[in-house]
Amino acid sequence: MQRSIVAHTRPGFEAECARDLLRIGAHAGMEVACAGLPGSAFVTGSGEPFDSTRWQRAQQAVPPWFTRSIFVGNGPHRLPERDRITPLLALARDHQPPFSAIWLETPDSNHGKRQSGLCRRLAPLLAQEARAAGLLEDGAERRLHALFVAADEIWVGTSDRASGSPWPMGIPRLGMPGSAPSRSVLKLAEALLTFLTAEERLKLLRPGMRAVDLGAAPGGWTWELARHGLRVTAIDNGPLKGPIARDPQVEHLRVDGLNWRPRRPVDWMVCDIVLQPSRIAALVAAWMADGACGRTIFNLKLPMKKRYAEVERCAGLIDDALRQRGVRHSLAFRQLYHDREEITGYCARPG
């Protein structure tokens, strides 16, 4: 059976997800054809000539922007109504076990979520049988995915730890902290998990480091930074809410976030200002080029049309501005689970 690429995405962003797969395929020297129904929250594709090693390397070299999780396998496969475990075990054996985990997934759409209960019931039974059959092994490099697009229809494949998402469906399960002033805290928490390794989070989010939060009110991102022990300057004409407004680690300045600069460089600048993407990109480029911060996480609010082109334009604006100033940097984008009609960026100087 022909190899298939299967990708999770946010409902309504199937076209952008397909562009991700085309970009990865081009880097791998493959011609990729994609298909995905609007609102389905997943895209399937095929590449010619397909080479798993080249695909994995390309996925690491040009990480996707709008794709949450990718696996390679085949489908769709039909499952009987009564006994689903036996055919699932047979499909697992066809994908070169052992696996570190078997993830039963659904598309993140209203239709896809109808299969969530079925997956929850099957998962422990399948794991028990798979371990008894020697298909699961702690420390194995690959995970097995079974994407239930219907109760009797699945796509099956594998992802590697090195290039695949660490979470089923590419969605981290984050609890809302009770004392946080807004749900936006989850967006920054997810960004830190996405763009930084565990070792980098320990190194780059140390108590006593300094950060600036542009467009801080009501204080969700400031709260997350302060939780790690950073001293935060919150910039916003609006008020901070809850305990963060009285936190001794936080200084709140009611000034214009587009023009304010710190007197000396800070470790982090974060920005969630609602503004045209190109203006936020220019702001990020200015902070990085001037050495006002070492790292930045920022959000781009995307237009309804030509969303991929807008991210490409903003990435080019930041890269060009920093290269002209001779600033070495890394730049990455990812539409997070907690994003909506937006994408999150991360830019950093080396070291």
Q: How many helices (H) and strands (E) does the chain have?
A: 9, 14
Task: Please state the separation of Cα 41 from the chain's center in Å.
Answer: 15
Q: What angle do CA 34, 38, 40 make, to 5 degrees?
A: 85
Residue with tokens 């974060």: 270
Catalytic, out of 113, 187, 241, 301: 301
Burial of 320 (0-12, 13-18, 19+ CB in 10 A): exposed
d(CA 160, CA 61) in angstroms, rounded, equals: 14
Q: What angle do CA 239, 245, 248 make, to 5 degrees?
A: 145
Active site residue 301: yes
Determine the 3-state secondary structure of 271 from DSSP.
strand
Q: Give the amino acid at 14.
A: E
Return the active site residues: 301
